[in-house]
Amino acid sequence: MAMSKLGSAQCGACPSARAPLLIRPKATVRHVAANAVAGATRPTSTLVREVQASDKPLPPGEAGLPFLGETLEYQKQGVLKFALDRYRKYQSPVFKTSIFGQEVYMVCTLPLYQAVIAEDTRLVNFTVAGTFGKLQGDYISGVMSNRDNSRMPWRRSMLGAVTADALAGYGPQVDAICRAEVAQLASEAEWDLNETTRKFGMSFANTLLAGLDLEDGREQAEVRRDIGLFFDGLFTFDVDLPGTPLRKAFEAKARLEQKLRACVTRQLNEILAEPKVGGQPANAPKVRRNMIQYIIDARRAQGDRVDIEFLTMMALGTLQAGTDTTAASMSGLLAMVAQLPGVQARIREEQAQVAAVHGEGVSKASLDASKYLDAVVREALRLYPPSTMHWRTSEREMELDVNGGLRIPAGSQLVFNTLTAHALELNPDWLQSAQGAGDALPQGMDFRNLEANFQPERWMEPDPAKRPSLMTFGGGPHVCLGMALYIMEAKAVLATMLRGHSLHLLGPQPLTWQEMPMAKPTGAVRMRLAKLAA
């Protein structure tokens, strides 16, 4: 039985100029760490190049036990400590390991991460295999793996949904969702964190991306359940038998597709029925209600046939990704902020000023004015991102300009470790420090000690070059288009909650966190939203 490879939605910033990562074979760990984060004076493309037949060695490392590889050590240590220990052991920012039944090369430093991901769709492509590929289907798998250069046209059709005008147009819907959900939470003595964030995630994803008409709470719960079953099937053993997660995922997918097919058909017919002048839509709305409608507009503008099955698969993909990524990200954000009353007080102070100018509801304008709130959301994404690792497949043989040169064969699996990239950017000397040799986590990365490590102010540095990098949603030419939408949603939820309430973590304390397939607090995490005295 083969476990599917783990994929993730990709978001982040395009790579900026970086210095060469010149690490010699005999380099000490100090030199390795320092050079890995050194300078921003030369394009990252100098760190990676395509080759025909390299004589350079493969990255160092071990495969571990048959099939299991080093999975048990990985699960015991966690993503960050596992990678830092092997970086130190091999004195290499990229090394071989085997996790979840896959032999991979793990990339640990920001310059290498940015250099390789900048070549997305040319030297590397999204990893689509196992149950992930089976459930996504041939079309979506083909787009994600850039079959026939299909990924960029696919992305272009989605761009209209994340423009500034589109985000502003979503404002009233976002405000309505936040007001309704926060009012309900405030009326309850306590509520479950992960269950609540899944409700938020699906409400946002359905309203802003897919557009399903869900009649009541029962139908909403059924759709949330099916999205969960579908997601669980993406990352499971490839066994399609009655009662297995994969079979349940296929059954859930069929139910979701039936609902979504009717939904997109209705929306397409509504758009086709709009008045036309000279064969073109007359007075077509500048702002649509959701992403599917923007995609319909884009396909028509390009002269492409608008296919119902294509729209159905797009709606399913965005509904699932939007629900699960938003839920995991928001779970981490709320869990952290609930433990930081000082951060809450500063958000509340800022929101009082924002509301005095922009009114009581949240809107794109009010959220754009919420600079500290924006920094809080970004700091949570940096400290504990929903996707701690991003997977790619090398399309061509390449050389990495580290340790005198390392060879990555075509067809290799690459894993980009987001946590180590963030950690070593802030702590370039960590690997050679006494603390780094022990069990401690690097400064700025220990979510168990939030007072010392959660610092939104780092994102308010006037000089953008001095702010941290944020690779949570990937980077390069195919950075996730949903990043701006998630940040808007997260800010709206926190602003609505904290304008008149305080957020509390009731238990358990300390929290335990899972890292795969999505990073979030585990178990029943009990929260309370307490109304503030007038």
Task: Yes or no: say if 491 and 351 are a contact pair by the CB < 8 Å rule.
Answer: no
Task: Yes or no: say if 157 and 143 are a contact pair by the CB < 8 Å rule.
Answer: no
Single out the residue of 156, 127, 161 nearest to residue 415, CA to CA. 127
Instruction: Tell me the three-class secondary structure of 453-470, residue by residue.
Output: HCCHHHHHCCCHHHCCCC
Cα separation, 237 vs 296, in Å, equals 36
Single out the residue of 473, 406, 516, 432 nearest to residue 105, CA to CA. 406
For residue 442, say if its preceding peptide bond is cis, omega within 30 degrees of 0. no
Contacts of 210 (CB under 8 A, 6+ apart): 260, 263, 290, 291, 292, 315, 318, 319
- Locate 351 and state its tokens: 């929101």
* Maximum CA extent, the chain: 73
Does 14 count as an annotated binding residue?
no
Task: Yes or no: say if 162 and 484 are a contact pair by the CB < 8 Å rule.
Answer: yes
Contacts of 266 (CB under 8 A, 6+ apart): none
Sign of CA dihedral 458, 463, 466, 471: positive
Burial 388-413 (b: 16+ CB within 10 A, else e): bbbbbbbbebbbbbbbebbbbeeebb
E-state strands within 44-181: 48-50, 94-99, 102-107, 124-126
Q: Which residues are annotated as a binding site?
A: 480
Q: Which residues are annotated as a binding site for heme?
A: 480
